[in-house]
Amino acid sequence: MAGRPVDAARSLTAALDEIDRVAGSAPSAERLELRCKTLITLALTEFMLSGLETASARLAEAEELVEDLGDDRLRARLDYQRANIHGRVGDLASAWDGLEGAVRRLDAFTEREQCSVHLSRGMLAFELLRPQEALDSFAEAARLAHELGGAEQEFMARHNEGYAAYLLGDIPRSLAGMARAQELEADVFQGPARLDRAQVLLEAGLVKEAVEALHAGLAELAGDGHDQMRAEFELALARAHRLLGHLGLATGAAVSARETYGRIGATAWAAKARLVELLVDLDRQRRTRRAQGQPEAEPVPPLVGDTTGDTTGALAAAATADELTETAAELGDPELADSARVVAAQALLLAGDAAAANTRLLSLERVSTGSLSDELDAAVVTAMTLVATGDVTPARRILVRASRRLAAGQQGSASLDLRTARAVHGARLSELDLELAVPRGSASVLEALERWRSATDRLPSLGRPDDEQLAQLTEQLRSVRGHLRGENDPAQVRELHDHASRLERQIRDRDWALSRTVGTTRAAPVRVREAREHLSRVDRDLVWFYRHRGRIGAVGVVGGRATMRELVAADRAAELAQRVRVDLRAAATHHLGPLAGAVWSSLRASAAELDDALLRPWRSDRGLVVVTCPELSALPWALLPSMVGRPFTVALSLTSFARRGVARDDAPGASGASGASEVHVSVGPSVPRASSEGRAIVGTWGDGARLVEPSRRDELVNALSRPGVVHVAAHGTHQVESPLFSSLVLHDGPVFAHELQPTGVCADHVVLSACEVGLTSARPGHESLGLAVSLLSLGARSVVAAVSPVPDDVAASTMTRHHELLASGLPSDEALARAVAETDDVAAAFLNLGGQHRP
């Protein structure tokens, strides 16, 4: 019958005639059953040839026979065929009824047929927006296909199970299901699966990875016959480039997708591509206004509607979006209509017509897509519209709910990669929250900053089981990195780098697939008020820097009082911070000779200007807690004149700093916030002073301290999973593009940041006497990753790490002195400040991160 319905109909009709001729006037039950089965098959064939009416007549004949025979097995097959036919004409409700009837009588089918029934039910559940039922059906289909050895069916079931999990918002399970599908050796067209996975990566916030996956998928669509699929890839690319801020690339991909959809008559899809074009154009208009120093729109009354600059483009975009809303209504697509209304509202807001924007939003049918990113996009537009119409209080409530929704969307994942990446979807909401908070004063600003930082600054779920495949991939990467260290041939180095990159991609894929866990860790809840009280108890002030309207602002808690200041142009602050970083790196890593004076003069001048702009206005002489913004990240604060010898901690947030001062009730062998139960020292190869540094530290702490030499990965990971002090004197590397592969080199190879995720980190104080491992890589959404930040995110109370190279002799003397002062009873921030002040200026690269450890 496949591809030849006319021949099939002729054969089936002849079979019916022969059954009737042989059966005569008193057919047996066996003949009636055969006639019924033939009618059921013929119904689908005649549907393909003549349509629903003829097919329905055949099904009615079969129905009479089923009633006469009272055969449930035949009824199951009849229901399944009815579902098949009604599904093809779009009568999804009738199709669902038929499939439910078939599922109730599954024993009427062979096991292979049962798999097909579950696959069909899952696909129909997708169409009916019933993702949980789709998930259940695909999971059962996958189980049956696996038992039967049907690789193609299992691939389809596993992949679709993953896509159903995506619709339910369970990104870890989604990636896990898709990964299991890819492991199967199934002879199927991979285009749709690659596209689905890229869409999930986008939803997860892994935007660069999604772009790579989409380009790889496009490369496989060679030749003709894939226009629709190619356009879907391009539309997803347009969305990804927009998230990355690559507006030219986004426009090009969206236009290409729209033209292709138009050529093949896919009207609804062409409308979706046009909406993305409009969104990119609105982004471009906002960017232009910011560059000209104009507001995008006044967020707070009484200046609502008072816009500057040309609004023609925004009004044109709104008109086009309105036309697309009408197109969606004609097509009967409420989801597309809602998307168009949201775009129209954004355009009208940019044009200053808040009332018209509100009208569009009031018309929303609120069709749920199950997408966190769509939900947050709608929330920001709704909140902005409420603000523009003067309803600020309900707008704030929307922002609070959105921050909680973002936090909830990250729960259940043990992958730091996934947790930090998804913050990109909350970036605009957090910016609006800050915009609303600034006019209300310091307390509101502090609450707004905390709200969004706390949405991602949570301890991840742990307890992930060991995975043999991940372990093998990591060992291969360790081996490749080892060969790289000893290789001098440029061609071999390139080949090894490419091999390492491939392994890192595979490890990240596996990490995402394994990230869904049942175990959890609980962070002690701390409110802003309680955190401010903690600052007073430990005799520290706070300065939290942020970017607002092109300038660096900050909220400070000094002497218990919260104040807010606008400090310096953001571009100037970023320029000075970069100069300090570059000059310090030069001073630490080169034999400068006559240039030394010029380098240090430049460094000190930049540091002094930053000091005057950022710190002196606060008139604080106590120890400091600093929360940075991207422009000031990885800054060696101890080089700023007012910070010399002054204890300070670079924290993730105010509540994060306070939480690290709360007694640890849930750690194995915890003894409260004070007193390290042991001191572990690991050292790496090729560090001349590492052994003597380790012995000096063990001598400082005495009983309970242990130097492990040669040092191995397993021993360090185990030490980090227990309370105490952990010191590592080894070469370290920060991987800019893949921060979870930042590493410390021990005698059995590098220890990667991602390897610490299954066990977590319970150490009270981790000292990394290694170059640059305090650096982080910024990610969209104001999040960052690196080795030191990973340790903190996994549970470490405090970490000492460097943000630039430090000569071995300086590192050894500074860290040895740090431990001496720590063992004498000083808190970690004060011990480090004194150690840095007593040794060498380049030791200012070392920062006390996260919290304050008090021995």
Is residue 467 predicted with pLDDT exceeding 80?
no
Which residues have CB under 8 Å from 68's CB, separation 6+? 32
Residue with the larger pLDDT of the pair 167 and 98: 98
Round to whole Å and give the CA distance between 706 and 488. 36
Q: CB-side exposure of 737: number of CA atoms within 13 Å?
A: 7
Average pLDDT, integer, range 558-579: 94
pLDDT of the residue at 298: 40
Mean pLDDT across the chain, nearest whole number?
A: 84
pLDDT of the residue at 295: 47
- pLDDT one-digit tens code per residue, 618-644: 988 899 999 999 899 889 999 999 999
Residue with the larger pLDDT of the pair 366 and 666: 366
pLDDT of the residue at 519: 47
Round to whole Å and give the CA distance between 650 and 629. 11
- pTM over cut 0.85: no
Alpha helical stretches, state H, 27-148: 29-50, 52-69, 72-88, 92-104, 111-127, 131-148
459 secondary structure, DSSP code:
P
pLDDT band at residue 853 using 50, 70 and 90 as cut-offs:
very high
pLDDT band at residue 82 using 50, 70 and 90 as cut-offs:
confident
pLDDT of the residue at 521: 47
Round to whole Å and give the CA distance between 460 and 169. 17
pLDDT band at residue 509 using 50, 70 and 90 as cut-offs:
confident
Residue with the larger pLDDT of the pair 127 and 147: 147
Average pLDDT, integer, range 74-82: 88
| Bridge partner list, 801 | 847
Q: Among residues of the chain, what percentage have pLDDT more than 90?
A: 35
Q: Among residues of the chain, what percentage have pLDDT more than 70?
A: 87
Round to whole Å and give the CA distance between 431 and 548. 8
- pLDDT one-digit tens code per residue, 836-848: 999 999 999 999 9
Is residue 598 predicted with pLDDT exceeding 70?
yes
461 secondary structure, DSSP code:
P
pLDDT of the residue at 667: 42
pLDDT of the residue at 315: 93
How far are the Cα atoms of 290, 296, 350, 462, 767 from residue 284, in angstroms, in the given order?
Answer: 10, 11, 12, 42, 45
pLDDT band at residue 555 using 50, 70 and 90 as cut-offs:
very high
- pLDDT one-digit tens code per residue, 84-109: 888 777 777 888 888 888 888 888 88
- pLDDT one-digit tens code per residue, 143-156: 888 888 888 888 88
Average pLDDT, integer, range 191-207: 86
pLDDT of the residue at 782: 55
